Structure 1
Amino acid sequence: MSLNTAHAQGGVLIFAGERILIYYDGIEMCFEGPSDVTPMKGKKKGRCYLTTHRVIFNSKDGKDSLQSFSFPFLLMREVELKQPVFGANYIKGRIKAEPQAMWHGEAKFDMYFTHGGAIEFGKAMLTAASLASRNRPPNPPPYYPPPTSGYYAAPPPAYEPPRNSHYSWVPYETFPTAPPAQSVYMSEAPPPYPGVDPSMAYPPPSAPMNSHDAKAQEAAASAYYDPSNAHNFYAPAAQAMAPPAYGFNTGPPPSYNEAEKKQN
């Protein structure tokens, strides 16, 4: 999972070739993460995107220190769908930090659906995780830093549902709404992890990893989905990584509020 690397100009920032399958406006996120990661503290309200490669949360509060969270399928584990007698249904689980992801270690998350749809979203997410796990190559290349520039307005295929047999498991009847076209941006870099489409290959190898990133990559490569336990997706425990050298001053594009201040 990466922190504040999946947003741009008040919208969502995805990789080249990545597609948004479900868009949901009405999420409340709670994190239990490392004590030194301030943006994770408190309840967060915003939007959630299920893509071909991950889950993305974008905050609605342009002043919050947390603007976006990225949850790659292969770094999730112990994901469960909860249906309490009282209160909204929700999804809970654990997520590991990606190499060079603006934070380090592991965090617990609770994702509440204030307008319903948690069960349908959760089942689709688990199916996507299963497909992504099957498409994992035996020797994946190293991660590369999250994109900080070179993004542009995404073309329609990136946020229009691919209604064909390969995506028959996506509950479009529950989530018929696509995100606003002007709120989806795409970087020039392809995803650094596999997705649901087997034709979507990994990018070519880039710079060599340090020892911490190598351990994280190894953990992601050994993640798996157990079809006999359909409510869980597992990634093995790994040692906490040291804080990346990727500085906050070289972070992602500014939020919508910041962009407005510069224009006025």
Structure 2
Amino acid sequence: MATFNSSHHQSGGVVLFAGELILLYVDKVDIQFDNKSLNSVGRLYLTTHRIVFTSGSNNQNMRSFSAPFYAIYDLSLEQPVFGANYIKGKVRPESQIDGQNGVTFKLHFKHGGAIEFGQAMDSAAKQASSVAQNMHFQPPPPYTTTAGQYYEAPPSVYQPAYNCGFALPTQVFSTPPPAGFIYTMEAPPPYPGLNTAPQQCPAYNQMAFPAYGQTLAGDPYQVYQNGNASASAPPLAPQPAGFAFGNERPPTYDEAIKKHQ
């Protein structure tokens, strides 16, 4: 679900779930929402489970934004005649406060790379959706964490060219996240993500969903627990729409810009 102001550290850094890894990082990304008071410029992370944005400004309305892959839909690359390419998508809301039709976001990359990031994001969303369907996943109750359960993440949380099932455009996004600005919480991700190479994340399968119970053999349903509340999940989760590229290799950023000049 779309969540605001729950993925940042007071230092300005990003807070990841235990076992979550950073696949791509890019600075100076402009994020826009229908609610313009939430617009901001900052850092964008593609992780094994979601996209995470942390604001580089003092916008108290929006310090961070995150969206798990399984909840993203209507994802597309917009190529305006005048102006740079940008990624547009929607995220199913965590509560009706965000609107019944979901949260719409736009990602503008000030130094290029919208196409390459969009391809990786689309591949991640499709794989995470497939994992969600195979494990009969349904979202658990709203998930909150305690602010004091953060600690500095180990260097292995970001390594270029993770084996995540598709090629990462690390040649475009070659700058690593700033040291000392990545934190990890004690809780594991409450939703499915990508599997990386076992030697790079050996505890991933064991850490996936212990907070919400586990799937029982022969049981097509999964029970998630949050305190004293539990919910029985129907078997199928909605699959996000495919990225608007088709089967052909998309143009590079420069090619796309020249096409409309």
Residue 121 (structure 1) aligns with: 117
Alignment root-mean-square deviation, CA: 2.8
Q: Provide TM-score, normalisation by structure 1.
A: 0.73
Residue 13 (structure 1) aligns with: 15
For structure 2, list consecutive stretches of 5 or more residues without a partner in the other structure.
Answer: 197-203, 213-224, 246-261
For structure 1, list consecutive stretches of 5 or more residues without a partner in the other structure.
Answer: 34-39, 233-264
Within-5 A mapping of 1:177-196:
177-196=175-194
Offset of 1:117 from its aligned partner?
Answer: 0.2
Offset of 1:141 from its aligned partner?
Answer: 6.9
Distance in 2, Cα, partners of 1:15 & 1:132 = 16
Residue 154 (structure 1) aligns with: 153
Of 85, 90, 94, the residue aligned with 1:94 is 90
In 2, are the aligned partners of 1:6 and 1:56 still within 8 Å (CA)? Answer: yes
Q: Provide TM-score, normalisation by structure 2.
A: 0.74
Q: In 2 relative to 1, CA 102–191 (structure 1 residues): closer, same or farther, beyond 3 Å?
A: farther
Residue 259 (structure 1) aligns with: none
In 1, are the aligned partners of 2:23 and 2:46 still within 8 Å (CA)? Answer: yes
Distance in 2, Cα, partners of 1:6 & 1:209 = 24
In 2, are the aligned partners of 1:11 and 1:185 still within 8 Å (CA)? Answer: yes
Distance in 2, Cα, partners of 1:175 & 1:98 = 30
Offset of 1:139 from its aligned partner?
Answer: 4.5
Distance in 1, Cα, partners of 2:187 & 2:142 = 9
Offset of 1:54 from its aligned partner?
Answer: 0.2
Distance in 1, Cα, partners of 2:141 & 2:210 = 9
Of 80, 84, 87, the residue aligned with 1:84 is 80
Residue 60 (structure 1) aligns with: 56
The one-letter amino acid of 1:182's match is: G
Q: In 2 relative to 1, CA 102–133 (structure 1 residues): closer, same or farther, beyond 3 Å?
A: same
Distance in 2, Cα, partners of 1:222 & 1:195 = 14
Offset of 1:171 from its aligned partner?
Answer: 0.7
Structure 1 SS opposite 2:29: strand
Distance in 2, Cα, partners of 1:181 & 1:130 = 30
The one-letter amino acid of 1:25's match is: D
Per-residue deviation, residues 49-93 of structure 1 (Å, max 9, x unmatched): 000000011111134321000111111110101111211210111
Q: In 2 relative to 1, CA 43–103 (structure 1 residues): closer, same or farther, beyond 3 Å?
A: closer
Q: In 2 relative to 1, CA 142–46 (structure 1 residues): closer, same or farther, beyond 3 Å?
A: same
* Length, aligned pairs only: 217
Residue 29 (structure 1) aligns with: 31
Offset of 1:203 from its aligned partner?
Answer: 2.9
Within-5 A mapping of 1:141-220:
142-143=140-141, 145-149=143-147, 150-161=149-160, 163-197=161-195, 200=205, 201-205=208-212, 206-207=225-226, 209=229
Structure 2 SS opposite 1:135: helix
> How many percent of aligned residue pairs carry the same amino acid?
40
Offset of 1:153 from its aligned partner?
Answer: 0.3
The one-letter amino acid of 1:79's match is: L
Offset of 1:193 from its aligned partner?
Answer: 0.6
Offset of 1:167 from its aligned partner?
Answer: 4.8
Q: In 2 relative to 1, CA 141–121 (structure 1 residues): closer, same or farther, beyond 3 Å?
A: closer
In 1, are the aligned partners of 2:76 and 2:243 still within 8 Å (CA)? Answer: no
Q: In 2 relative to 1, CA 20–2 (structure 1 residues): closer, same or farther, beyond 3 Å?
A: same
1:2 matched to 2:15: no
Q: In 2 relative to 1, CA 77–17 (structure 1 residues): closer, same or farther, beyond 3 Å?
A: same
Residue 222 (structure 1) aligns with: 237
The one-letter amino acid of 2:244's match is: H
Which has more radius of gyration?
A: 2
Per-residue deviation, residues 190-211 of structure 1 (Å, max 9, x unmatched): 001111117543234232558x
Distance in 1, Cα, partners of 2:170 & 2:238 = 28
Distance in 2, Cα, partners of 1:73 & 1:139 = 13
Residue 45 (structure 2) aligns with: 49
Q: For CA contacts below 8 A with separation 6 or more, give which structure has more relative contact order.
A: 1
Distance in 2, Cα, partners of 1:14 & 1:85 = 37
